[in-house]
Structure formats: C-alpha cells, structure tokens
Amino acid sequence: MVLPGHLAGGYLATRAVLAIFHPALTASQSTWMLILGTISGDLPDIDVAIFSFTHLIGSKTAKKQHRSYVTHTPIFWLAVSAAAALIGLAASSAFILTLSAVILAGSWSHLLFDSIEYGVRWLWPFSDRSYALRYPPESESAHRRGSIAYYWEFISKAYFKNLTSYAEILVTLAAIWLLVSR
C-alpha cells in the first residue's frame, strides 16, 4: 500500500478509537487527534528514509526492503504506545492517553494493510518470518531499489496488478466518505 491508503487507514482507525472510547477532548483536541491519527497510519514507513539513504550511499548493511526494519514490527508500536500511555497517565492527560491508543491503532492499520501482500514480521523478535495473505511476484526493475524511479516504475507497472491497490481504493473512499459526511 502507498501513502494515500495508509493515511486513510490511520484516519479510519482514529475515528474508530474516538467512537469506541469517547474521550473527554475539546473540539480542537479532537481535530488534532484526527490529524495525528491520520499521520500515524504511515508512521511505520519512517524506515523508508533509512532504507533509501543506505541504498543511496551503497552501504553493505542496506536491507533488501524497507519493511525489514524494527518500525515495521507490531511490538515496536506497542512499546511506543505503552510509553505514551504511561506519560498520559502520569500527566493525567486524556489527550495523551487517547493519542497512545490512536498511535497503536493507526500504526497497526498500516501493518495489517502491509500484511495483505508485502508481509509483516508479526512475531518479531521471536521470529524473523514475514506473514502475508499472499506474496505477488517481485517485479524486475532497472532502477536502484529504494530510488524514486524504482517506486514510480513499481506504481506505474506493477501496483495496480496487486490486490492491495483495490483494498487501498476502498479504504481511501471510505475515509473520504466519513470525512465529508462528518
């Protein structure tokens, strides 16, 4: 899944958290929560910067794909959310407590979507195995993995042949519908 789908997933996850927990937030705080929650849907992809940089400089430690970094593991986001929850409890802050739930929901929505066809290491650190519903064949590219040209070629030639693209379209349309009907 690419950026629009992950952002839409974060937005939908945030709406779910707000609907389930009904936190005591002001209108302004709720708006900020929706913004931060939407962004949280793409937080696991912060590893793209590291991935791209290591490939750019030709590092021998460069990984084959960006989903190999710790930010693409559920336990990482569970730890981040738990730390935020502890801060929220210590500060008696409904905003920070809600943010901790939103970070968890948004980041895990990302991991769920990546589990459709790309694979996520759900059992890390106990196992390095990635789990996915299916793995599409890898596309051949003349461009360096991690480069903008590589991703452009992937989106233009291979992405719309994958199941994930259709899930992304549905999630994005659902998020737009909820946003407009709000």
Could you give the dihedral angle defined by the CA atoms of residues 111, 116, 118 and 120, in that order, rounded to the nearest 10 degrees?
40
Express each pLDDT in 143-178 by its tens digit.
555 566 766 776 777 677 777 888 889 999 999 999
The average confidence (pLDDT) of the chain is: 87
Express each pLDDT in 92-142 by its tens digit.
999 999 999 999 999 999 999 999 888 899 999 999 999 998 876 666 656
Residue type, 130: S
- Cα of first residue to Cα of last residue in the chain, in angstroms, is 25
Residue 68: its pLDDT value, please? 72
Give the global pTM: 0.83
DSSP state of 70: G
22: alpha, beta or left, given left = phi > 0 and alpha = psi -120 to 50?
left
As given in the structure block, the two tokens for residue 162 are: 């994958």
- For the chain, what is the domain count? 1
Domain of 64, in residue numbers = 3-180
* Number of helices (H), then strands (E), in the chain: 7, 0
